[in-house]
Chain A
Amino acid sequence: SQQGEEDPQALSIQEGENATMNCSYKTSINNLQWYRQNSGRGLVHLILIRSNEREKHSGRLRVTLDTSKKSSSLLITASRAADTASYFCATPLYGNNRLAFGKGNQVVVIP
């Protein structure tokens, strides 16, 4: 089954620094999505990038997509303590929209 794999798995940074995490996938996609999960809560959608897009911004988030390398990156600029969470990439399969998630990145922002 198709599944995103995030790298690195855990990241600890100081408030104000940038956090970058990567995701790789295995088969062709029509979009890639990033989600955030705060401890003990459900997942919240952050950003969706389509297969024909290379870069997308949303507030302090910047996502890139390289379909030739089957990889994506999520950059959080000027991190805040509230950004402490797990971040997951997800890819829907063609045909049935099955949404498969990776293992996630645990990001800790130290005030």
Chain B
Amino acid sequence: EAGVAQSPRYKIIEKRQSVAFWCNPISGHATLYWYQQILGQGPKLLIQFQNNGVVDDSQLPKDRFSAERLKGVDSTLKIQPAKLEDSAVYLCASRRTGFNTEAFFGQGTRLTVV
């Protein structure tokens, strides 16, 4: 079974530029999460999709962050414009429907904003 794919692995941009991250979840996983993980901290949930609908985006800074999941499969997360404090690892995870199921994570995208 193929895992969660994310790209790019690394990205360096200047502040005020825009950036986009891509995630391909495990086939058949209806739930998709995007997390932001700042160095030394736990993952913070940014947005959760169930198929192509948003379930929870309460912690997404909507003035600069946006995400979509077209056709309930792949997802993109965009930041525009980026700030220095957006430097972090962005993790994508997917999960089968059901309460007692585990999440599978991609390797993450390490973003550095200079």
Contacts and interface: CB of A to CB of B under 8 A. Distances in A.
Interface of A: 1, 30-31, 33, 35, 40-45, 48, 50, 88, 90, 92, 94, 96-104
A54 B40 CA distance: 30
Contact of B105 (A1, A31, A42, A100): A42
Nearest to A88: B42
Nearest to A44: B105
B75 interface: no
Interface stretch (B11-19, B60-68, B77-85, B96-104): B96-104
Interface of B: 4, 31, 33, 35, 41-45, 48, 50, 55-56, 58-59, 91, 93, 95, 99-108, 110
Given A90-B103, A97-B55, A99-B45, 14 more contacts: A1-B58, A1-B59, A30-B99, A40-B110, A42-B106, A42-B108, A43-B91, A43-B93, A43-B103, A94-B99, A97-B50, A99-B103, A101-B43, A104-B41
Contacts of A45: 102-104
A43 B56 CA distance: 21
Pick the 7 closest A-B CB pairs, nearest first.
Answer: A42-B105, A45-B102, A101-B42, A43-B105, A103-B42, A101-B43, A42-B107
Contacts of B104: 45
A75 B86 CA distance: 34
A50 B100 contact: yes
A99 B56 CA distance: 11
